[in-house]
Structure 1
Amino acid sequence: MILRALYTALWYLAIPLAGLRLLWRARRQPEYLQHLGERIGRHTVRFDGPVIWLHAVSVGETRASAPLVHALLEAHPECSLLLTHMTPTGRATAVELFGKLQPRVQSVYLPYDLPSAVDRFLRHFRPRIGILMETEVWPNLIAGCQRKGMPLVMVNARLSERSARGYGRAGALARNAFAGLSAIGAQTEGDGRRLSGLGARYVMVTGNIKFDIAPPPAMQVLGATFRNRFGPRQVVLAASTREGEEELLLKALVNLCPPEVLLVLVPRHPQRFEEVARLVRRAGLSLQRRSGNDPVMADTRVWLGDSMGEMYAYYHAADLALIGGSWKELGGQNPIEASATGCPVIVGPHTFNFKVVCEQAIEAGAALRAEDLTRGLTLAMELLRNPTRRKAIGAAGLDFAQQHRGATERTLALLAPLLQARSGSGRH
């Protein structure tokens, strides 16, 4: 209790800084200044009937939640579904994925982890159950759910060794928070072991829900449209790149790739699209943008994927993909989407956020690892000259994605007894 009181005091002291942070982020994304009341638990969205609440921080978690969202709605037709996020892009992604399901599915911001804000949020929506996607640990939120007797479950949970050490340094504050969760569905045995070591009481290995996301047919059609625009050129996709990686990649491109190879460059964060465009021009490379919707010229070296929600289409259009976030010490991105489309994958040395799935993909022959971007692009050129090997890696990716499906069903089984216990007691 003393540690949580200190944590809460720090939060109150940090509120002015949180406001300044929103202003700073609004320079690139004005949407950060919208719905400000929700950040302190003042919400206007309302539902009729019981509510299932699912928290998905930003874009990746929101996309990963899609199979679970649809499964919950089908299994519990009497319930509406509240999605909460922390970023405007996460909220926009929810509208993109679930907009047709409104008003049964609606999105708001999760308030800051202040007892008063948490209490307002829970009193307003009175959810039957709370579901946290991946690893979101908010001590006051967890304590607030405990006070109201509302089960709070973490699903699709992953915890790297690095993150586990960080939570371990928080001592009893983190242990009490993990112990306060009603159940946890972990992605792997290792994730489950680390979560249990931090105090989690009921941990079940359910797998990774992202394997259950089927590439939308519309994205395959769009990918074919992109490919037609590219003409006969071979295409290397740099997917979900992060700050510091693009400069290294563009330098390697100049030295290693012939002009007939097109680089499709898709930054992870949309607020960096303009910055990355400037980097391309500074490197002296001809640039076109996805948003231009123009035919791709034969002398264009870089096609900037400045769009949201089209990553499956980019994978469908590419001959192979370099996965961003793995070339600097950023932890990497998930290779599952690429494998599900049959796109061969090359990852860098830094994949600690997705350690197990990357190792599994490499072991299955669905991905290759390179020690740096120069070697990664060299390997890409070798694969472009070897279509037989490239197709074999793509086929292994399809098999890899297929074999690991089923996490959504196991997650529903984890949630079922908690939802059933609450269905008889009404909303609190």
Structure 2
Amino acid sequence: MGDVTEELQQNLESGKDVEMNPKRAGRQKMMSYSLAGLILSNPIATKAASENGGYFLDKGKQEMTTNREERQVLKLIDEKPVSQAISAVAWSPDGNFVVASGSSTLHVTVWDARSLSVARVLDQGFGGDGGSNVAFSPNGRFLASGLSTVNLWDPVSGKLIKALVAPHVTPGIPQEIGVRSLAFSPDSKLIVVAYDGKKRIVIAYRVDDGKILWTYEPRRVIGIPLMTTPIAFSTDGKQLVFGTGERGGPEVNLKRLSRVLFLNAESGALIRSIDDIHVMNPTTLAISPNGRWVATATSTGVNDQTSNMKTKQVVTVDNQDPVRIWDMDTGKLFRDLPVLSRVWSLAFSYDGKTLFGAKSDIQSHMTLAVWDIESGRMVQEIRSNPGPMGLAVSPDGKRLAAASQSKLVVYEIAASR
């Protein structure tokens, strides 16, 4: 990015548009970003821009950099430190509680959303190799958490109601199996769980009796399919959506395949897919509240080299992919949103006009991005160290919670104009 940064700095005083050349899907595409719509991640360039009047720093609990020509979308409300890293966060349906957890902790912490005081701490038991996963059922009756087994809690009393144990999981015994992601159906009747590890499988459980309704195992296309994003229901509850990544062998010159899969929520059958969404595995996805869009992101900024022992060639992938928004019905690309680093989590605003992203910009610590979807511009960045890993918008659309590893942070979301 050195050449891009130099060009940006050379054009700061003139206010010229800057041509950037992201390499994607094996072709060159010149993209012009107006300086007024681009938040700079290089510290020197950012300083120069602020001195030039292009941007300003608002000193508070966190440093915030925003385009002065755009409204400030996020404003810090409060933050609370945590003793163990958290990376997943969810709101209760009534908006009164925020729950968070992390893969390194065996506990789920429930906070009062107004005071950010701890309401209760739930012990998940044996950890396993799962990721951090928390979700409230839309009817508010259940709080789900999962590492290797899935626990369903009474969110009011904190009592464990039942544990969902997959046939391939043995509770209490170390094994290379874990919960990758989980999600409740909009009617709260199903909970769907994606398992990772030695057995990669999606299982739909009936919430009332815990019985398995269906299972789905991603089929190999060019390599072993890895489930690399959260799993989510479409807004009408008819489809399940998640991302996968594969890497082929020497016979396909180590080609990669990244996809969004759509399953029938009643049967678990594969309906369709959007293929080649990124040059590397997708890292996260989110569905817009109106059900029109699915947003995906990847490990932007990563350069990977692999040797093909069969052809003696070195295969290089330079990941400069943007965040992408796809049409849910047609599978066509709707919008590219600029980003320069890996994105961990995405969340749409309640009105679907804004997209929030938790990203890992190590150099500048600009780790929370805000994009205007209509214009495709990044209109705000928030500096936080350490940066957030998980994001969730409150049911009323007025707050954004961020699981920021060593702290829980809550922001106010400005109303759309």
TM range (shorter): under 0.3
Output the TM-score relative to the length of structure 2: 0.23
| Alignment TM-score, normalising by the size of structure 1 | 0.23
Between Structure 1 and Structure 2, which shows a larger proportion of helix residues?
A: 1
